């Protein structure tokens, strides 16, 4: 009996360990009887804006239900490669969407963003230049290198000659942001739009805004319905652009 109990526990232990976190997904419930459903994979940094845009889209298109899964662009690209059912992919970098060129076609830039050095509004560590990150007493973190926000951070930090190491390489920007808001770090490399959305945070720009920038791309899967095409058009049109710009994103390059 004991043997069985312990074996059950073992299996249980191994099961628990495989629980993964930080793939935040948000689901909108349909307002009407929906005939069409579209699944959107969107970068974690689009959590607020795409939730709002999809609500507007559903209002404008009765009968269409939008389901969005938010996570790091690299995670989403990997899920798409593994055959996850997706109609629209909105990634935080061109390279992330190009890595799934077989599955997602005709990507278009729809917004720009850039990474900044974010810190609490009170600025207890007196951060005034990016060089302050080199201060040994200062704890800062960023996204992992393969995530768009991490790739942009790597470039911008190199240009500014920051040589100190981050205390952690987080799997997506929300995870970085959570630790900054929780007060566990003094500074964090996040998107300008993240600072926009949090009144308790202030930001410092990198000296070279071009190297800190990232272009958001959106595309549809090969078998996407016309509703999915409509959603992409909605994001690219004024309806989506005004939401993005209000959140601090820049218009896409022409």
Partner 1 sequence: MRHQTNNLQGSAKLNPGFALLALAGFLVLALPVFALLTRVPWGSFLEIAISESVLLALEVSVATSIISAVISVLLGVPLAWYLARGPQARTRWIRPIVIAPLVMPPTVSGIALLTLMGRNGMFGKYIYEATGYSMPFTTTAVIVSGIFVGMPFLVLVLESAFRQTPIELEEAAATLGAPPAKVFWRISLPLAKSGLIAGAVLAWARALGEFGATLMFAGSLPGVTRTMPMAVYSAMESDQGSAFVVSAILLAVAILVVFFLRSNLIKTFAR
Chain residues that interact with partner 1, rule: CB under 8 A: 2-3, 5-7, 9-14, 16-22, 72, 74-75, 77-78, 137, 139, 141, 144-147, 165-171, 175, 179, 182-185
Q: Which lies closer to partner 1 via its Cβ, residue 35 or residue 184?
A: 184
CA distances from 95 to 77, 90, 126, 147 (A): 10, 12, 35, 10
The minimum distance between CB 6 and partner 1, in angstroms, equals 6
Q: Which lies closer to partner 1 via its Cβ, residue 143 or residue 218?
A: 143
Mode of pairing for the β-strands spanning 201-204 and 104-120: antiparallel
Q: Which lies closer to partner 1 via its Cβ, residue 39 or residue 75?
A: 75
The minimum distance between CB 59 and partner 1, in angstroms, equals 33
- Measured between its terminal Cα atoms, the distance across the chain in Å is 70
Burial state string for 52-71 with b = 16 or more CB within 10 A and e = fewer than 16: bbbeebbeebeebbbbbbbb
The minimum distance between CB 197 and partner 1, in angstroms, equals 21
Residue position matching structure tokens 């690209």: 77
Residue position matching structure tokens 């071009």: 210
The minimum distance between CB 142 and partner 1, in angstroms, equals 11
Residue position matching structure tokens 């739009």: 193
Residue position matching structure tokens 């202030």: 202
Q: Is residue 162 classed as helix, strand or coil in its secondary structure?
A: coil
Q: Which lies closer to partner 1 via its Cβ, residue 78 or residue 205?
A: 78
Bridge partners (DSSP) listed for residue 89: 41, 219
Q: Which lies closer to partner 1 via its Cβ, residue 18 or residue 102?
A: 18
The minimum distance between CB 214 and partner 1, in angstroms, equals 16
Q: Which lies closer to partner 1 via its Cβ, residue 6 or residue 210?
A: 6
Q: Which lies closer to partner 1 via its Cβ, residue 127 or residue 185?
A: 185
Of 127, 94, 82, the closest CA to residue 217 belongs to: 94
* CB contact at 8 A, 37 and 8: no
The minimum distance between CB 129 and partner 1, in angstroms, equals 23
What is the 8-class DSSP label of residue 229? H
């Amino acid at each position: 009996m004991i043997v069985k109990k312990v074996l059950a526990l073992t299996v249980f232990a191994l099961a628990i360990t495989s629980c993964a976190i930080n793939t935040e997904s948000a689901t909108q419930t349909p307002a009407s009887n929906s005939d069409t459903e579209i699944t959107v994979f969107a970068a974690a940094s689009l959590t607020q804006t795409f939730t709002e845009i999809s609500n507007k889209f559903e209002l404008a298109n009765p009968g269409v239900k939008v389901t969005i899964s938010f996570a790091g662009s690299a995670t989403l690209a990997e899920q798409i490669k593994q055959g996850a059912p997706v109609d629209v992919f909105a990634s935080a970098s061109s390279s992330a969407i190009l890595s799934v060129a077989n599955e997602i076609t005709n990507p278009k830039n729809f917004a720009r963003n850039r990474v900044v050095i974010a810190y609490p509004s009170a600025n207890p560590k007196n951060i005034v230049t990016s060089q302050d990150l080199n201060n040994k007493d200062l704890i800062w973190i960023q996204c992992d290198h393969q995530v768009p926000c991490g790739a942009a951070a790597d470039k911008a930090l190199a240009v500014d000659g920051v040589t100190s190491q981050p205390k952690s390489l987080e799997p997506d920007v929300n995870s970085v942001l959570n630790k900054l808001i929780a007060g566990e770090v003094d500074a964090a490399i996040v998107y300008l739009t993240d600072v926009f959305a949090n009144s308790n945070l202030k930001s410092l720009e990198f000296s070279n805004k071009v190297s800190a920038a990232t272009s958001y791309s959106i595309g549809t899967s090969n078998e996407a319905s016309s509703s999915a095409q409509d959603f992409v058009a909605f994001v690219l049109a004024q309806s989506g652009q005004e939401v993005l710009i209000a959140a601090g994103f820049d218009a896409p390059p022409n």
